[in-house]
Amino acid sequence: MTANESRTDDGFPPTDHRACQGSAVTLDTAAVQRRLGRVPEWELRQGHLCRTFHCVTFRQSLALVEAIADIAEKLNHHPNLSWENKREVTVVLWTHKMDGLTGLDFDLAADIDTAYSALQVPV
């Protein structure tokens, strides 16, 4: 990053966010169904992508939440998270500004799946 580039308050460079710029497109039902095949562990609930991750230990669930936070910050696309029973992390995705699902939601779901696999957390 050059000295002339702006930074956000947290020290990360700003990320281009298509939804905030109005250039994202909500996916129609057929496109959502096709993309669900790419993230088979996720399900559609009330127009949102949802998945509950089951971790073996408290520390693994903490590591997963931290990994999700890192991914979300890089994409500038933030999921709703709930952390229950010390070992269950539920992620709910949708593009808030568009009030629907966009390609970014499926990209984030796939990245979260990759992070979960990298933690070698058994299901």
Q: What are the chain's domains?
A: 30-118 (3.30.1360.20)
Q: What percent of the chain has pLDDT over 70?
A: 79
- CA–CA gap between residue 22 and residue 52 (Å, rounded): 30
pTM of the model: 0.80
Positions of E strands within the chain = 43-45, 48-54, 80-84, 88-93
CA distance 118 to 99: 31
Confidence of residue 120 (pLDDT cuts 50, 70, 90): confident
The 10s digit of each residue's pLDDT in 54-85 is 999 999 999 999 999 999 999 999 999 999 99
Report the sign of the C-alpha dihedral through residues 114, 116, 122, 123, in that order. Answer: negative
Per-residue confidence (pLDDT) for residue 21, from 0 to 100: 53
Task: Give alpha helix (H) positions in 22-76.
Answer: 29-36, 58-75
Q: How confident is the model over 14-27, as a mean pLDDT?
A: 63
Distance CA 91, CA 27 (A): 19
Question: CA torsion angle for 70, 75, 78, 79 (degrees, to 10)?
Answer: -80
Instruction: State how far the alpha carbon of 6 is from the alpha carbons of 9, 20, 64, 68, in Å.
Output: 10, 18, 30, 24
> Once rounded to an integer, what is the mean pLDDT over residues 2-14?
35
